[in-house]
Structure 1
Amino acid sequence: MPHIDYYFATLSPYTYLAGTRMEEVAAKHGATIRYKPLDIMGLFGRTGGTPPPQRHINRQEWRLQEMRRSASKLGMKMNLKPAHWPTNPAPSSYAIIAAQTAGGGDLAGLVHGFVRAVWAEEKDVSDDAVVRAVLEAHGFDGGLADSGMLAGAEEYAANLEEAVEKGVFGAPFYITDSDERFWGQDKIEDLDLYLQGKL
Structure 2
Amino acid sequence: MAHIDYYLSTQSPYCYMAGDRLERIAEKHGATITYKPIDAWQLFDRTGGVRPANRHPNRLAYRDQELARWSEYLGMPLQMRPAFFPVNTAPSSYAIIAAQAAAGGDLGGLVQAFLRAVWAEDRNIADDVVIREALAANGFDPALADSGLFIGAETYGRNLEQAVADGVFGAPFYIVRETGQRFWGQDRLDFLDRHLASL
TM over 0.5: yes
SS at 2:16 equivalent: helix
Residues 18-33 of structure 1: matches in 2 within 5 Å?
18-33=18-33
Q: Which amino acid aligns with 1:191?
A: L
What is the distance in 1 between the residues matched to 2:87 and 2:30?
35
- Tell me by how many angstroms 1:148 deviates: 2.2
Q: How many positions carry a matched residue from both structures?
A: 198
What is the distance in 2 between the residues matched to 1:170 and 1:79?
21
* Structure 1, unaligned runs of 5 or more: none
Counterpart residue number, 2:176? 176
Provide TM-score, normalisation by structure 2: 0.98
Residues 29-178 of structure 1: matches in 2 within 5 Å?
29-177=29-177, 178=179
What is the distance in 2 between the residues matched to 1:148 and 1:9?
18
- Tell me by how many angstroms 1:151 deviates: 1.0
Provide TM-score, normalisation by structure 1: 0.98
What is the distance in 2 between the residues matched to 1:62 and 1:117?
24
1:193 paired to 2:194: yes
Aligned-residue RMSD, C-alpha:
0.8
* CA displacement 1:24-69 (0-9 Å, x = unmatched): 0010100010000000000000000001111000000000110010
* Structure 2, unaligned runs of 5 or more: none
What is the distance in 2 between the residues matched to 1:191 and 1:145?
32
- Report sequence identity in percent: 58
Q: Which amino acid aligns with 1:31?
A: A
* CA displacement 1:113-171 (0-9 Å, x = unmatched): 00000000000000000100111111111100001211100000000000000000000
What is the distance in 1 between the residues matched to 2:121 and 2:136?
17
Q: Which amino acid aligns with 1:197?
A: S
